[in-house]
Amino acid sequence: MEDTLKTVAPPAPPSAPPKGIQVTDNALKKIRSAMVKENVSPEQGGLRLGVQGGGCSGLSYNVRFDTQPRERDRVFQFGDVRVFVDPKSFIYLHGMTLDYQETLMQQGFVFVNPNSTKSCGCGSSFS
């Protein structure tokens, strides 16, 4: 009998939470159509995500279009869509997923944020 050595790959490390910002396909579709309506150039402009003080839970999300990134922004590219996040907001938003949902009761962007410890009923305020 011939002895053979088998090499076994080590087990994969547990998956870490995603770094940066994730955007679902539903959200990307809505962002693209809104950029066309708002006349925002995908080559220069993009969606700005931010966090500001206020809201019923202490902090609130801010979503708007911007014509270009700022000097210290983190820029995330999703095909033809760019997302801009300022450094202070990124502290609260890293690992977050932006989704867009339409139900019979409401429609809009939904922030799935693992950094949030509590949120209010409106879905746009957290701490």
- The pTM of this model reads 0.76
Q: What domain range is 78 assigned to? A: 21-117
- Structurally, the chain folds into a number of domains equal to 1
Determine, yes or no, domain membership for 69. yes
Q: pLDDT, tens digit, for every residue of 85-126?
A: 999 999 999 999 999 999 888 889 988 888 776 555 444 444
Alpha helix stretches (DSSP H) within the chain: 25-37, 87-93
When mean pLDDT is compared over 8-12, 82-86, 92-96, the highest value belongs to 82-86
- 21 contacts 114 by C-beta, under 8 angstroms: no
Determine, yes or no, domain membership for 95. yes
Determine, yes or no, domain membership for 6. no
Determine, yes or no, domain membership for 14. no
Burial call 94-104: b when 16+ CB within 10 Å, e when fewer: bbbebbbeeee
Structure confidence at residue 8 (pLDDT) = 54
Q: For the domain that residue 39 is a member of, what is the CATH number? A: 2.60.300.12
Determine, yes or no, domain membership for 90. yes
